[in-house]
Amino acid sequence: MKVAFATQDCTRIDAHFGWARHMLIYDVQPEGYHYLKTVSFPGALIQDGDGRKLVRKFLAIRGCSLIFVADIGDVAAARLTRKDVQVVSRYRGQPIVTALDELGETLRHRPNVWLRKHLQRDRQRDEI
């Protein structure tokens, strides 16, 4: 399954979704994970209340099942939920590798129903 990380420094989950300078995208499976790409957002970031800044973020994480953030606004969180993207903020400030390792461990040993559904959906998509 594809997962995204909102980050300023490309090593920690240290960015608010709307203000992230980078989104790192990984593929995570029970067997492990690998880096796919970084999407960067250069230039000045638009002020709060301007939803136009979010469009590029939504496009960057298209196809992702999870987005790890330090924080996220209510509007963005609601839009992601409607798109069946789970927002995870419990790793705020921690290294991205910590979240990747723990997600892999969860997928190997105790995935919840939502995670199993996304793993299965992604495997079916890969078979097509």
Instruction: Tell me what pLDDT residue 119 has.
Output: 82
Domains and CATH numbers, the chain: 2-127 (3.30.420.130)
Query: What averages of pLDDT result for each successive group of 10 residues across the chain (128 residues)?
Result: 97 96 96 96 63 85 96 94 95 98 93 86 70
CA-closest candidate to residue 17, choices 25, 26, 9, 8: 8
Q: CA distances (Å), 109 to each of 29, 30, 40, 53, 116, in order?
A: 12, 8, 33, 38, 11
Both tokens of 13, joined, read 């989950």
Residue pair 48/122 in contact by the 8 Å Cβ criterion:
no
- Rounded CA-CA distance 90/12 in Å is 13
Half-sphere exposure of 104 (CA within 13 A, CB side): 14
Q: Is 30 helix (H, G, I), strand (E, B) or coil?
A: coil
Instruction: Tell me what pLDDT residue 48 has.
Output: 56
Q: What is the pTM of this model?
A: 0.89
Instruction: Tell me what pLDDT residue 111 has.
Output: 87
Instruction: Tell me what pLDDT residue 45 has.
Output: 58
- CB atoms < 10 A from the CB of 27, how many? 14
Write the Ramachandran bin of 103: left for phi over 0, alpha for psi from -120 to 50, otherwise beta. alpha
